[in-house]
Amino acid sequence: MNHRWPLQDFLELGALISAVPCARLHARQVLWEWGIGNLGDSAELLVTELITNAVTASREAGRDSEVRLWLLSDSAQILILVWDASPQPPVLTDAGDEAEHGRGLMLVDAVSEQWGWYSREDSDGKFVWAITRLCIPGGSHPRRDNSGITQSRKGSASSLPGSRVPKLAARSRSRERMSVQTW
């Protein structure tokens, strides 16, 4: 077990539109079981948007395969990690007022503390991730640990969560430069 993320969960679903509500409900239940249901609304929104994008990306890549969801937490924050079969990077677009699609990553960017993506040489597809932190009513947010940050656009991961947590390309809500951070 990874000491940085002592609470861990994994779910694999078919790349079907029904995967979205299944993943959202699963995340709600897992967070409740972990005793951090107060992260629920943000985490559920992030899971919904990331799984929706993963299903779409996998299907557009011509692969009606699976999508994979990892939930990792240290009880102060949650890391949501999603794998899809498409090697194409996610693109944050500026959807117009009349657009019917294209707001998913805008929501991820607005709701998450950080988000990013990476790919692995030994795997098809990509991993997209987001972090949300625990909101303490009347208190302050846990301090961000910026140790290990170096400048890079994309990180390469050597393993999945649960063994050695991968290096990830990060986009911080504070609009800092793109960076690679080891968790």
Do 92 and 99 touch, CB atoms closer than 8 A? no
pLDDT along the chain (183 residues), means of 10: 86 96 96 86 95 94 87 94 94 69 83 94 91 67 37 33 40 36 39
The pLDDT of residue 172 is 39
Question: Does 160 fall in a domain?
Answer: no
Q: Which residues of 107-137 are buried (b: 16+ CB within 10 A; e: fewer)?
A: ebbebbbbbbbbbbeeeebbbbbbbbbbeee
Question: Does 178 fall in a domain?
Answer: no
Question: Does 143 fall in a domain?
Answer: no
Question: Does 164 fall in a domain?
Answer: no
Question: Does 148 fall in a domain?
Answer: no
Question: Does 173 fall in a domain?
Answer: no
The pLDDT of residue 98 is 64
Distance between CA atoms of residues 163 and 17, nearest Å: 30
Domain hosting residue 114, numbered range: 7-136
Question: Does 101 fall in a domain?
Answer: yes
The domain that holds 115 is classified in CATH as 3.30.565.10
Q: What angle do CA 71, 95, 57 make, to 5 degrees?
A: 45
Question: Does 74 fall in a domain?
Answer: yes
State the total domains in the chain: 1
